[in-house]
């Protein structure tokens, strides 16, 4: 189902409620949460453990569903989609960057990057051309045949970013993308994300504990016990 985009937001959460049951107890995460993200924004979400950051990212990814309320990305209402249609939509419109890379160790870097393209009606040559292009973009054009286990953490994360953008999605969701990296590698990854946002127009939502990572975003939101408690604009 599609719904009109009346507030010019690319991503919109309206009155979202989410709880988890632990035994006989119901643990509330969000109660009437609203969020609006314009297209092309680089948003950082910070907050202590248990504040709801991971739940929010899972809701945006369609991995989890709200108990009530609406989640819209573009003109698509994610909360009203079935799993099959949601998976197909996600493959075309969303890329996800994980903290621990989630690369398959038995595959080369290029083969890992190619995985999202296997869901598209592309020839082997077209897939190889796309993979080569994004590996060049992240500075690993000569490393495609290498196994990720022989790469540094920063290089593995760049493979993860290449995999996330190879299908040319509108939206990147980043879950602590620098959390497992040293400072220099983290800065390199953040520079790549900033480039994807500013030069290629990708909308990015990044969950992070790192203030230096958050400072690269165009806006920072702080979550505390499922509520946004601060909104700071940090870049023009």
pLDDT at 100: 85
In this structure, is residue 11 part of a structural domain?
Answer: no
pLDDT at residue 155, as a whole number: 93
In a domain, 207, yes or no: yes
Q: How many domains, in total, are found in the chain?
A: 1
Per-residue 3-state assignment (H helix, E strand, C coil) for the chain: CECCCCCCCCEEEEEEEEEEEECCEEEEEEEEEEEEECCCCEEEEECCCCCCHHHHHHHHHCCCCCCEEEEEECCEEHHHCCHHHHHHHHHHHEEEECCCCCCCCCCCHHHHHHHHHHHCCCCHHHHHHHHHHHHHHCCCCCCCCCCHHHCCHHHHHHHHHHHHHCCCCCEEEEECCCCCCCHHHHHHHHHHHHHHHHCCCCEEEEECCCHHHHCCCCEEEEEECCEEEEEEECCC
Domain harbouring 130, CATH code: 3.40.50.300
Using one digit for the tens of pLDDT, what is the confidence trace for 139-160? 999 999 999 999 999 999 999 9
In a domain, 192, yes or no: yes
pTM: 0.90
Query: In the predicted model, is pLDDT for residue 5 greater than 50?
Result: no
pLDDT surpasses 70 at 205: yes
In this predicted model, what pLDDT tens digit does every residue of 92-111 receive, in sequence order?
A: 899 999 988 899 999 999 99
Query: Which band of pLDDT confidence, cut at 50, 70 and 90, is reported for residue 7?
Result: low
Q: What percent of the chain has pLDDT over 90?
A: 69
């Amino acid at each position: 189902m599609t719904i009109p985009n009346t507030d010019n937001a690319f991503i919109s959460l309206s009155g979202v409620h989410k709880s988890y049951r632990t035994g006989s107890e119901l643990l509330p995460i969000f109660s009437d949460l609203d969020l609006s993200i314009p297209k092309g924004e680089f948003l950082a979400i910070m907050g202590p453990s248990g504040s709801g950051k991971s739940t929010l990212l899972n809701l945006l990814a369609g991995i989890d569903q709200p108990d009530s309320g609406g989640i819209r990305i573009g003109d698509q209402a994610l909360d009203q989609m079935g799993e099959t249609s949601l998976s197909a939509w996600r493959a075309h419109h969303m890329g996800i960057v994980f903290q621990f890379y989630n690369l398959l160790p038995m595959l080369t870097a290029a083969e890992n990057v190619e995985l999202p393209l296997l869901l598209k009606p592309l020839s082997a040559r077209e897939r190889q051309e796309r993979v080569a292009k994004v590996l060049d973009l992240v500075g690993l054009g000569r490393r495609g045949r290498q196994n990720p286990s022989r790469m540094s953490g920063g290089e593995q994360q760049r493979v993860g970013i290449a995999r996330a953008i190879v299908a040319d999605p509108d939206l990147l969701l980043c879950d602590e993308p620098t959390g497992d990296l040293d400072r220099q590698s983290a800065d390199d990854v953040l520079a790549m994300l900033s480039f994807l946002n500013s030069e290629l127009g990708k909308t990015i939502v990044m969950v992070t504990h790192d203030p230096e990572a958050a400072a690269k975003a165009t806006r920072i939101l702080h979550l505390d016990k499922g509520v946004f408690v601060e909104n700071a604009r940090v870049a023009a």
